[in-house]
Structure formats: C-alpha cells, structure tokens
C-alpha cells in the first residue's frame, strides 16, 4: 500500500488526512526503520507493508469505533512500536493515549517518536501490565483499552480488563477468529467483570489478510485480586 493509496482508502472510509497527518505517518515510518536497526521493533520494514500491516491495520479500529469525542482516554497494553495507539492518535488528535510496555528500550523509541511527531496527550509507562493494573492511578480509569498481541485472550483479559472503567471497552485485536479461544476465555470474561459486546471480521485491502476484533464491555468492577502477580497470568491462565 503506497502512501497515496493509504490516503485514498481512508478517504473512502470517511477520513480525510491532512498534509500534516500524512507527514506524521511518513516520519513514523522512517523512525521505525531507523530504530529497528538498533532494536527489534518489527519484522515488517518494507514501506508498502508498513502502511498496510501496521498503519492501516491499526486504524481499522477507528473505522468500527469513533474515538473523536473530546476527553476520551485509551490505554494500549504491550504496544511495542506503538500499534494501534499511535496511528489512532494521529487520526484522532483529541484522543489521550497511555502506553504501557515492559521493555524500556521500546519506551525510549516511543519517547523519541512522540517528540518527533509533536503529539500531545501521550503518556508512556515502563511497567509490567500486572503491576500497572494494580496502580490506583490507572486501575479502572480508561474508556478504552487495546491489545494487539499474540497472547491468548484469557491472558490478555487479566492484563487489560482491570484498567477499563465501568461502561468502557476492551478491544482485543487478533490475527484470526478463534471460537475455541473465546470459549476458553468465557470464565475469565465473567470473573473480571466483562461481557462480549461484539466480534468484527476485518479484511485488509490489497492483501486480503483477515483480522478479528473482539470487543468486551466492562459491566462491573474487577475483583481486587486481579491481575495476579507478574508472570502468573501467562503461566496459569484463567480457565
């Protein structure tokens, strides 16, 4: 996907990117490739692939849910190189985003990225999700929480749902639909105060790659014992 195609396809979805926003995506791409030579941020470095599989892919969430209302707060858990939250922030400038990542090197990259893109209302935290979810400054404080991660849903739920405020939403961005994974997570969803709100299948243009977005709404407060201590959700997932 060339940058011009990226712009045109977003226009067809109702999003008209300004010259400034296009410039921000261009800077993002250059910094991603530059820093990727020093640390492992992504296996995808081809420009057309980055625009399709990172930038456009991240923005599919904004095609399903409207993040334009002022005052909304989104937390991105284990964001890596900033996906999906930074592309969403570029598209929806009023959105306040917080990124938590356990690797300080990635936070250093993101700090530089945010500076170069001249973004405001971006908070970066070097922390384990399990510890972060216990912090009263962040627990149940976010309208939206996202995770674009390879962990199974029952693990992601324990790391992310404690951060969602009552009435808020957790978005799990998955590479493929898995009824087995959703069934396996049903106990965790209920236990942590959530309810499946929707499932959306997304097909990326050009490549035809499939994506799956699971939305969990927060119906009640998460019990204080969750998330458990660092490492436990991965070793002993809720089933």
Report pLDDT digits (tens) over 27-84: 999 999 999 999 999 999 999 999 999 999 999 999 999 999 999 999 999 888 999 9
pLDDT > 70 in the chain, percent: 100
pLDDT at 159 over 90: yes
- pLDDT, residue 99, reads 97
| pLDDT given for residue 124 in this prediction | 98
Instruction: Flag whether pLDDT at 149 surpasses 80.
Output: no
Give me the pLDDT at residue 176, please. 81
User: What does the alpha-carbon distance between residue 112 and residue 92 come to, in Å, rounded to a whole number?
Assistant: 20
Q: Indicate the average pLDDT of the chain.
A: 96
Q: Report the distance separating Cα 100 and Cα 125, nearest Å.
A: 5
Q: Which residues are annotated as a binding site?
A: 78, 83, 129-130, 148
Answer for the pair 211, 58: CB distance below 8 angstroms, yes or no.
Answer: no
Binding positions for S-adenosyl-L-methionine: 78, 83, 129-130, 148
| Residue closest to 123 by CA, chosen among 85, 161, 174 | 85
Domain annotation for the chain: domains and CATH numbers: 3-235 (3.40.50.150)
Cβ count within 10 A of residue 76? 28
Average pLDDT over residues 137-160: 94
Question: According to the model, what pLDDT value does residue 58 have?
Answer: 96
Q: What is the pLDDT, as a whole number, of residue 180?
A: 87
């Amino acid at each position: 996907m060339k940058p011009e195609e990226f712009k045109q396809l977003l226009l067809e979805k109702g999003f008209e990117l300004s010259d400034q926003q296009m410039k921000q995506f261009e800077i993002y791409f250059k910094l991603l490739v530059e820093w990727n030579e020093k640390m492992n941020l992504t296996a995808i470095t081809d420009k057309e692939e980055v625009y399709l599989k990172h930038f456009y892919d991240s923005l599919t969430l904004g095609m399903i849910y409207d993040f334009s209302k002022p005052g909304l707060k989104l937390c991105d858990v284990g964001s890596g190189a900033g996906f999906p939250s930074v592309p969403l922030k570029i598209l929806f400038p009023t959105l306040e985003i917080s990124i938590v990542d356990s690797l300080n090197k990635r936070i250093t990259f993101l700090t530089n990225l945010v500076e170069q893109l001249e973004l405001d209302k971006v908070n970066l935290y070097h922390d384990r999700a399990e510890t972060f979810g216990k912090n009263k400054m962040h627990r149940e404080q976010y309208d939206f929480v996202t995770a674009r991660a390879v962990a199974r849903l029952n693990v992601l739920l324990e790391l992310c749902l404690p951060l969602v405020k009552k009435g808020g939403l957790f978005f799990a961005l998955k590479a493929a639909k898995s009824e087995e994974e959703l069934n396996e997570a049903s106990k965790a969803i209920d236990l942590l105060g959530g309810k499946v709100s929707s499932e959306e299948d997304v097909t990326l243009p050009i490549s035809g790659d499939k994506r799956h977005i699971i939305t969990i709404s927060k119906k009640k407060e998460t019990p204080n014992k969750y998330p458990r201590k660092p490492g436990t959700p991965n070793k002993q997932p809720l089933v």
